[in-house]
Amino acid sequence: GGGGEGARLFRADMRSRLWFTYRSGLQPITPAGVTSDAGWGCMLRSAQMLFGQALVVHSLGREFRLPPDVGYEDLPPAYREILGCFADRPDAPLSIHRIAAAGEEVGKKAGQWLGPNTVCAAMRNLCERGAFGGGQLSGLKVLLFDSTDGDNTIYKGECRQALSGGSALLILLPVRLGTHMIDKSYVGKVAATLGLKQSVGFIGGRPASAHYFVASRGGLVYFLDPHTTQPYVPVGLGGEGPAQHASFHCDVQKRMRLGDIDASLTFGFYCRDEADLEGLCEGVLQINEMLKGYAAISIGEERASGDAGGWDDDEEDDDEELLLLL
């Protein structure tokens, strides 16, 4: 298709992605008792978007597009189940309440800004405790590679092991691609990585201001921005028409230059099976072959025992901590 058709398809793809933003009027998020995540929840919301996209691909396929002007009850059951998973209620499996509580376990109070690796660790812990439950969402494992390795490497052995029981896999890879912003030598590699079939985007942004980045075109990267405060919507608890889900999708395509993004980010990749994993690894190796210099992502078989050192994204967080005045 020509430019017009391509642009239309791109808009439909962006609009179909789940958009999680700040919300107000929430049940109190304990222990701080805050009733909104405005000002501190952007990384949690960005991670919800990345996980949401992985679950949509897992349950509905990469081709899923949100039908326009359809009532909530007429949407696929799997879609409704995924949206309910992220509902802003303490009992929803991947709610802001649950993620904030899991963040507490790694030493971050509700009301503090979290780095991408901390949020992903909190969400992985929730998933390991059965957040997806049964139904459409079961059969997806989460493998978070440790940022303290500092080697930006996907280890195939660990991925194969996670896939061995017949589960699909969401791979989360924290990387650091420069000192402050993404170094220009990595810009083309990050853009190419977003183009891989297995990519479900990355989370990151600027210090203390996170976004969910999904696609790139000509040195610009398109993202969904959580920094809009919307009132609480009781998803899945009755109510008719598109009002249930309309505020969880965005018609605005925002973009920024890749070189303006913070060097610490976390990639997400969805692999349905071992063939998908092989495709991901081949794609990464092709990018590294085509675009010389330091690799943004490396592929390894097994990690050497005793690997450690590297960096931790919370080193930056502490400089940028946004504490709510409670």
Chain-centroid distance of CA 275 in Å reads 23
Contact 50, 174 (CB under 8 A): no
**Is 227 one of the catalytic residues?**
yes
State the catalytic residue, choosing from 42, 85, 127, 281.
Answer: 42
Chain-centroid distance of CA 1 in Å reads 30
State the catalytic residue, choosing from 37, 88, 151, 225.
Answer: 225
How many helices (H) and strands (E) are present in the chain, helices listed first? 10, 11
Closest CA to 147 of 22, 325, 315, 299: 315
Contact 221, 261 (CB under 8 A): yes
**Encoding tokens for residue 59?**
């349950």
Rounded Cα–Cα distance for residues 205 and 184 (Å)? 16
Residue type, 303: R
Distances 24 to 21, 88, 228, 238 between C-alpha atoms, Å: 10, 10, 10, 20
**Is 225 one of the catalytic residues?**
yes
**Is 314 one of the catalytic residues?**
no
Closest CA to 181 of 316, 76, 41, 3: 316
State the catalytic residue, choosing from 13, 146, 149, 227.
Answer: 227
The DSSP code for 130 is: T
First to last CA, the chain: 53
Catalytic residues: 42, 225, 227
